[in-house]
Amino acid sequence: MNNKNLLWGILLALAIAAFLSPFASPSPDGLERVAEDKGFLHLAEGKELLRAWMPDYIFPGVASEGLATALAGVVGTVLVFAAMYLLGRVLVRSKDNAGTRQTRCS
Amino acid sequence: MHIPDGFLDPKVWAGAYAVSAGALAAAVARTGKVLEQRQVPTLGVMAAFIFAAQMVNFPVAGGTSGHLLGGALAAVLLGPWSAGLILTTVLVIQMLFFYDGGVTALGANVLNMAVIAPWVAYGVYRAFNPLVKGPVGRNAAIFVAAWLSVVAAALACSLEIALSGTVPLKVVLPAMLGWHAIIGLGEGLLTVVAVAYVARLWGLELPERKLTVGGQPQ
């Protein structure tokens, strides 16, 4: 995968997060629906163990819900890319000591 | 299919954490061995794409929605080991920043969506692909693999909930499988389209032969 393709890929991901996520169906997903129908959805209520920055994919402090969702999507997409990239660098770097490929660290 | 906190009891979520940790350790060892630096950005882009796609719920039927899970997409294009790391990264960010999926349930969510879904998809795809010919057959294999990956994840999710004593298996299983059999059709369709798009972008007829990392190294 060359750099141009990677750029297209990340732009596509950002475009989906920014422009499609505000139009996502608000209906419950499969598990949520089953939990509702079978009467165990309440078990999740009041069990929150952490206070997330953007609960329900809503960027805080933005009046427009569509914009708040788009912002949360863009921030999340960047965070996921960064986390995966850094994790990948760490994992692969540990291998490079074996001297199989170009290395920057050994 | 992100399980929130409160649905699973300690023995189940702790057990799921242990199994997922083992699977991830194997994935880390495997990808660390076969992955190359130049492939790392590809993992990042795939993870970012799956995160974004997971936000876009599509309506299925009767006031229920589904979204792409992405386990099959990542497994077909990059192999099941890399797919495991990608989906785990997505799930951890979703939990930490969006509280989508519980803290205690993270192990179970990783097990269902980052381990079971990619491996089922990969296994089914590898088993069916040699039996079918041409792009239509290949797309059929991808579709079935993606559909089964969602159904298998829903099956595992049902077992975890039932083992927790939350609700009997005979109640949760048919409902979960029924909805996810429908949601899985969307997964199949989106995965076929996405794989075809990436294959064209990469200029490869069989991208997995060239690029599968951690699955079938050259």
Give the domains, in start order, of chain B with CATH numbers.
10-211 (1.10.1760.20)
Q: What is the pLDDT of residue B133?
A: 82
Window 39-68 of A: residues touching B by CB (8 A cutoff) are 39-40, 43-45, 47-57
Check residue A1 and give its pLDDT: 55
pTM comes to 0.92
Q: Which residues in B lie closer than 8 A to residue A73 (C-beta atoms)?
A: 52, 55
Q: Burial of A67 by CB count in 10 Å (0-12 exposed, 13-18 middle, 19+ buried)?
A: middle
In this predicted structure, what is the pLDDT of residue A100?
47
- What φ, ψ does residue B65 adopt, rounded to 5°? -125, 165
Q: What is the pLDDT of residue B210?
A: 46
**Global ipTM:** 0.92
The Cα B212–Cα B218 span in angstroms is: 9
Kindly list the residues from chain B whose CB atom is less than 8 angstroms away from the CB atom of residue A51: 99
Do B44 and A24 make contact, defined as CB atoms within 8 angstroms? no
3-class DSSP state of B23: helix
Residue A9 near chain B (CB below 8 Å): yes
The domain spans of chain A are 1-24+58-99
Helix (H, G, I), strand (E, B) or coil at A104: coil
pLDDT of residue B207: 47
pLDDT given at position B107:
98
Asked whether the CA dihedral A11, A13, A15, A17 is positive or negative, the reply is: negative
- Nearest chain B Cα distance for residue A32, angstroms: 8
Q: What is the pLDDT along chain A (106 residues), one digit of tens a residue?
A: 577 888 989 999 999 999 999 999 999 999 999 999 999 999 998 878 889 999 999 999 999 999 999 999 999 999 999 999 999 999 986 554 554 444 444 3
- Comparing alpha-carbon positions, the chain B residue that sits nearest to A12 is B49
CB count within 10 Å of CB B139 equals 18
d(CA B115, CA B117): 6
Residue ranges of chain B with per-residue pLDDT less than 50: 205-211, 213-218
Q: Strand, helix or coil at A29?
A: strand
Cβ of B98 within 8 Å of Cβ of A57? The answer is yes
